[in-house]
Amino acid sequence: MAATPSSRMTVIVAGAGIVGSACAYFLGQAGAQVHLLDASAPAAEASGAADGAVSVASKRPGPLMTAALSGIALYRELEESGPLSGLFHRRSTFIVAASEDEQKVLETHATALADAGVVITAIAGDDIPRRFPALSRAASLIIEVQGEGHAIGYQVVHRLIAASGATVHRSTPVTRLVPDRSGTRLAGVETPAGFLGADAVVLATGNGSSALLGLADVLTPRKGQLLITERDPALNAAMPGSIMSGRYLLSKGSQKTASAAPAPAGPARGFGLVIDPLRTGQFLIGGTREDHGNKQETDLSAVSRILADAVALVPDLARLRLLRSFAGARAAVRDGLPLVGRLPGLSNAVVATGFEGDGICLGPVMGRAVARLLLDKEPGLDLAPFAPNRFQSSGDAA
Ligand SMILES: Cc1cc2nc3c(=O)[nH]c(=O)nc-3n(C[C@H](O)[C@H](O)[C@H](O)COP(=O)(O)OP(=O)(O)OC[C@H]3O[C@@H](n4cnc5c(N)ncnc54)[C@H](O)[C@@H]3O)c2cc1C
């Protein structure tokens, strides 16, 4: 039997990142009583350490691209109707190729974007220095992806929680899921403060989902290092949107590499360049993809490499001081798609995790889909490709 599809239901949402907060918001709007539990605090993990591209530009073709388009549309709606007013800034993303390899990848990706209905424009030849005097002469092709935007993750989280009416429990990790006597539903969850019961439970616990659900073989923490420069209003104004290198598509796995170069030895560490002109006049520059979760440190070799790549593409950045570097850990599923849906065998429990580098864009739309699932409504998004049980046949726990 499904969870009671009542607007008066009590729901535990574990994880106050952008996905859990969005879920709490949409459940609250439907009249549900929500307990939002976080092991630490709202936006303490990936949602507070992200860039903030609300963007389809780098999405892998297929269900992620489709979901991202719904995600952007929902940001626009929430911006216009109030909850995210002033937090979502519309702009284009410009994907830049500066080598033959990058150009091939970009051309393939541009076709996939156009096929998905995304409005794109190619900029080449003399139009590049005319429209982007700040870009290096190495830039040979730019694809402008229109209709995108930027939002700062922790601001979205705090706004959604404030509007949700949820009771927030900080420093309250869920330590165990507690089934009821039938074994087909959860009665609630165990926390260090004791048992908490509910009609339904949502796990939006990011990398914390591994321990709760036994997903260590499926979910990997993927560290990213990001940099923030000082302000340069003139240079900032000369960049009409986010600049993404063609190599970023490779680093993220949105497209396969054109050359069959062997993978480097040692732990995986990818570099993909994004230069984001922030509204403050600063630049946010990233970043790495490293398959571990130690987000406490940034390192000089990564910071130097990111800066060198950025200056190669936008030479005037060389005159700016670096203000700070920081890191966060994305939750990456091994097939590159998130895990969203009912937990197998538990009709009133839903998981939503594994959004890797896409969760700021997808958070609100996935939170709404999960809330609708619990309320027995159409999720508004095809969740079949994200089914949590898709790894079960290989012996994994989800
Ligand atoms: C460097 C970097 C750059 C990024 N840039 C972008 C970008 O430009 N665009 C984009 O769309 N996405 C980006 N992302 C990805 C995005 O930040 C994440 O996909 C998104 O924040 C995931 O949200 P979440 O709510 O699933 O997880 P999280 O934000 O990680 O939240 C999970 C929460 O669960 C809590 N928790 C964990 N275990 C438990 C437990 N047992 N009980 C209770 N609570 C628990 C944690 O404390 C945490 O607050 C970036 C990420 C990084 C690291």
Residue 124 C-alpha to ligand 1 middle, in angstroms? 36
State in Å: Cα 2 to ligand 1 middle.
28
Residue 37, SS3 per DSSP:
strand
Q: Atom 51 (ligand 1): residue with closest C-alpha?
A: 50
Atom of ligand 1 nearest to the CA of 43: 49
Nearest-atom number in ligand 1 for the CA of 191 is 42
Determine the distance separating the centroid of ligand 1 and the alpha carbon of 263, expressed in angstroms: 28
Ligand 1 pocket, mutate which of 25, 156, 337, 358 (most atoms under 8 A from CB): 358
Render pLDDT for 347-370 as a digit per residue (tens, 0 to 9).
999 999 999 999 999 999 999 999
Ligand 1 centre and the CA of 256: distance in Å?
25
User: What's the CA-to-centroid distance between 133 and ligand 1, angstroms?
Assistant: 36
Q: Give how far Cα 245 sits from Cα of 58, 242, 270, Å.
A: 10, 10, 13
The pair of structure tokens assigned to 245 is 């290198």
According to the model, what pLDDT value does residue 256 have?
66
269 forms beta bridges with 290
Distance (Å) from CA 46 to ligand 1 centroid: 3
By residue count, the chain amounts to: 398
Q: How far is the CA of 326 from the centre of ligand 1 (A)?
A: 15
Pocket of ligand 1 (CB under 6 A): 14-20, 37-40, 44-47, 49-53, 153, 173-174, 204-206, 208, 212, 224, 226, 286-287, 328-330, 353, 355-361, 363
Can you give the pLDDT at residue 21?
98
- Region at 188 (left for phi over 0; alpha for psi -120 to 50; beta for the rest): left
Give the atom of ligand 1 at the shortest distance from the alpha carbon of 226: 1
Atom of ligand 1 at shortest distance to CA of 208?
A: 38
Cα separation, 49 vs 40, whole angstroms: 14
**Distant-in-sequence, close-in-space partners of 278: CB < 8 Å, separation ≥ 6:** 150, 236, 284
pLDDT in tens, 228-284: 999 999 999 988 899 999 888 877 777 765 444 444 444 567 888 999 999 999 999
Q: Helix 359-374 and helix 153-164: axis angle, to 10°?
A: 20
Describe the chain by its helix, strand, coil percentages, rounded to 5.
Answer: 35, 30, 40
Ligand 1 centroid to 153 CA: how many Å?
9
**16 close to 43: Cβ distance less than 8 angstroms:** yes
Q: Which of 18, 226, 370 to mutate to test the pocket of ligand 1 (most atoms within 8 A of CB)?
A: 18
- Give me the pLDDT at residue 181, please: 95
C-alpha distance from residue 14 to each of 20, 38, 187, 200 (Å) = 7, 6, 14, 11
State how far the alpha carbon of 373 is from the alpha carbons of 5, 274, 350, in Å.
Answer: 9, 35, 8
- Residue 49 DSSP label: S
Residue 77 confidence (pLDDT): 97
**Hey, how many other C-beta atoms are within 10 angstroms of the C-beta on 264?**
9
Q: What pairing do the DSSP bridges indicate for beta strands 349-353 and 200-203?
A: parallel
Q: Tell me if the bond preceding 281 is cis, omega within 30° of 0.
A: no
Please name the CATH architecture into which domain 10-48+155-218+335-394 falls.
3-Layer(bba) Sandwich (3.50)
Q: Which amino acid is at 180?
A: D
Rounded to an integer, what distance in angstroms lies between the CA atom of residue 365 and that of residue 9?
A: 21
CB 100 within 8 A of CB 106: no
**Tens-of-pLDDT digits for all 398 residues of the chain?**
444 555 589 999 999 999 999 999 999 999 999 999 999 999 999 999 999 999 999 998 999 999 999 999 999 999 999 899 999 999 999 999 988 888 998 999 999 999 999 999 999 999 999 988 899 999 999 999 999 999 999 999 999 999 999 999 999 999 999 999 999 999 999 999 999 999 999 999 999 999 999 999 999 999 999 999 999 999 999 888 999 998 888 777 777 654 444 444 445 678 889 999 999 999 999 989 999 878 888 999 999 999 999 999 999 999 999 999 999 999 999 999 999 999 999 999 999 999 999 999 999 999 999 999 999 999 999 999 999 999 975 444 45
Give the three-state DSSP class for 118.
Answer: coil
Return the closest-CA partner of residue 19 out of 96, 82, 74, 94: 74
Spatial distance between the Cα atoms of 107 and 105, rounded to a whole number of angstroms: 6
Considering only CA atoms, which residue is closest to atom 31 of ligand 1? 17
**Residue-range domain boundaries for the chain:** 10-48+155-218+335-394, 90-148+220-333
HSE-up of 364 (CA within 13 Å, CB side)? Answer: 30
Instruction: Please give the sequence-ordered ranges of beta strands (E in DSSP) within the chain, or none if there are none.
Output: 10-14, 33-37, 53-54, 89-97, 120-124, 141-150, 167-169, 176-179, 186-191, 194-197, 200-203, 219-229, 241-245, 269-277, 283-290, 322-333, 339-342, 349-353
Ligand 1 centroid – CA 225 distance (Å): 14
What was the pLDDT predicted at 2? 45
Alpha-carbon gap, residue 282 to 273, rounded angstroms: 16
Q: Which of 54, 169, 205 to mutate to test the pocket of ligand 1 (most atoms within 8 A of CB)?
A: 205
CA 59 to ligand 1 center in whole angstroms: 17
Q: Name the token pair of 52.
A: 């903030």
pLDDT of residue 280: 92
Could you tell which of 12, 34, 47 is best to mutate to test the pocket of ligand 1, judged by most ligand atoms within 8 Å of the CB?
A: 47
Cα 330 to ligand 1 centroid, rounded to whole Å = 6
- Closest atom of ligand 1 to 352 CA is 26
Residue nearest to atom 33 of ligand 1 (CA): 15
Q: Ligand 1 mean position to 56 CA, how many Å?
A: 18
How far, in Å, CA of 18 to CA of 365, rounded? 10
CATH of domain 90-148+220-333: 3.30.9.10
Distance in angstroms (rounded) separating the CA atoms of residues 193 and 78: 35
